[in-house]
Amino acid sequence: MTNDLLGRHRAVLPDWLALYYEEPLEITHGEGRHVWDAQGNRYLDFFGGILTTMTAHALPEVTKAVSEQAGRIIHSSTLYLNRPMVELAERIAQLSGIPDARVFFTTSGTEANDTALLLATAYRRSNTILAMRNSYHGRSFSAVGITGNSGWSPTSLSPLQTLYVHGGVRTRGPFASLSDDAYIAACVDDLKDLLGHTRAPAALIAEPVQGVGGFTAPPDGLYAAFREVLHERGILWIADEVQTGWGRTGEHFWGWQAHGRNGPPDIMTFAKGIGNGMSIGGVVARSEIMNCLDSNSISTFGGTQITMAAGLANLNYLLEHDLQGNARRVGGLLIERLRAVAAQVPAVREVRGRGLMIGIEITEPGTDDADPQAAAAVLEAAREGGLLIGKGGGHNTSALRVAPPLSLNVAEAEEGAAILENALRSIP
């Protein structure tokens, strides 16, 4: 049956629509931190549909909210007042830390980042954008145009002029050997030099932890130091929280808070986990930025009632059960366990991350050269052992990505770590 579905998939869907595994997997249902395939095999899910199943599969509170809302009305568009949308916007505005915040809902992180770019360029009357090397911000024309990871940028054409900044990858590049303070100083000097050679940009867009890039991050405080330079010149800071938001990093509710000594970003984008599988994205911005557009606009599907009901229920569960704290505690244990394993596997260059956002970089032993074949083999071996993980990275997709639902318990973390250990030790 799966082979038949794979043939049908290939017959009608694009060749560039990536599938994991030599024998692609059809997931039929899930519960908690586990999913099942069409053959009845059970897997511990450490990727959550690309960091989207944030709390748990089939979370009763969310499924109940969706069912009840579906029984009333599913959709009406933004042309009508929408109570669940207003309620979720109020919650997110308060949690964002952005003063006098306004919230606009979209259907994805790509669309959220696209909207943030529209706001920043309209507000600043500039089409120049600063972005980070190794970054990823979505698959729309404008988002692809600013992506700093060539593996995910199929065209160089763009409505924007994009300039790339150092700093998103701590352990590679010309500043890797420096101390954290010296690294930040060098990146700031590079930013100042770059700004001296260009017209004033609209904004810097940056992921506090780079997602598709392999869960890489700068030292805490880098974006705060950047913000000082940007603020002096009126340049906006867009924090792309599509993957880092909602407490996943454990230490903070938002990734930007690790860099927050100079205040919150001017614009923040979010998506993925808030809907727990429902299509929700969005933008939060100061009112004068959000309201700068001088033409009419609506959203047909952004903020639709059924997704807003899911988001409210999911956010309530997240906060009431302190899943941020759970990510910090269980994620800390998992990182230490994986680092202990990695110390005995020469092909593991680095285990990095925070909370339940962990990257394992695979290279040819004794070198910094990426080994995407070995990374793919670990992905396959983990599946054989009953564990689903992801992959990414700016160096030929040689980083494994570990991002379970935030309700992961210690026993499940130990089980997943044991499967990963066996998979890593299988590298020739």
In this prediction, residue 242 carries a pLDDT of: 98
* C-alpha distance from residue 132 to each of 146, 151, 285, 407, 410 (Å): 9, 15, 21, 31, 35
Mean pLDDT of the region 96-116: 97
- Containing structural domain, residue 135: 64-320
Whichever domain contains 48, its CATH number is 3.90.1150.10
The domain that contains 277 carries what CATH number? Answer: 3.40.640.10
* pLDDT the model gives residue 156: 75
Pairwise CA distance, residues 282 & 266, whole Å? 14
Q: Which of 279, 304, 320 is the last residue in one of the domains?
A: 320
* Residue 1, pLDDT score: 59
**Are residues 19 and 160 located together in one domain of the fold?**
no
Last residue of a domain, one of 320, 340, 365: 320
Residues pairing with 392 in the sheet: 399
Q: What are the pLDDT digits (tens) for 269-298?
A: 999 999 999 999 999 999 999 999 999 999
pLDDT tens per residue, range 341-380: 999 999 999 999 999 999 999 999 999 999 999 999 999 9
More confident call, 4 vs 262: 4
**What's the whole-number mean pLDDT along residues 177-184?**
97
Instruction: Give 371's Cβ-side CA count (13 Å radius).
Output: 21
The total of structural domains in the chain comes to: 2
Residue carrying the six token digits 């030292």: 219
Same domain flag for 227 and 353: no
Task: Note the pTM of the prediction, 2 decimals.
Answer: 0.95
What DSSP string runs through 54-122? -S-BT-HHHHHHHHHHHTT-S---TTS--HHHHHHHHHHHHHH--TTEEEEEESSHHHHHHHHHHHHHH
The reply to whether 224 and 360 lie within a common domain is no
Note whether 393 and 298 are same-domain residues. Answer: no
* Residues 138 and 163 both lie in one domain: yes
Q: Does residue 105 share a domain with residue 16?
A: no
Query: Which whole number is the average pLDDT over 74-97?
Result: 97
pLDDT score recorded for residue 397 = 76
pLDDT of 175 above 80: yes
| Domain match, 305 and 347 both | no
**How far is Cα 159 from Cα 143, in angstroms, rounded to an integer?**
10
Q: What is residue 153's predicted lDDT score, i.e. its pLDDT? A: 77
pLDDT tens, position by position, 29-81: 999 999 999 999 999 999 999 999 999 999 999 999 999 999 999 999 999 99
Q: For residue 135, which of 203, 193, 208, 200 has the smallest C-alpha distance?
A: 208
How high does pLDDT run on average in the chain?
95
Let me know whether 376 and 356 are in one domain: yes
Instruction: Say if residue 212 is in the same domain as residue 276.
Output: yes
Q: Give the torsion through C-alpha atoms of 163, 165, 168, 174, to 10 deg.
A: 130
Same domain, 389 and 256: no
Mean pLDDT within 82-109: 98
Co-location of 124 and 25 in the same domain: no
Last residue of a domain, one of 279, 301, 320: 320
Question: Which of 332, 366, 324 shows the shortest CA–CA distance to 348?
Answer: 366
pLDDT at 395: 65
Q: 157 and 188, same structural domain?
A: yes
Dist. CA 93–CA 82, nearest whole Å: 16
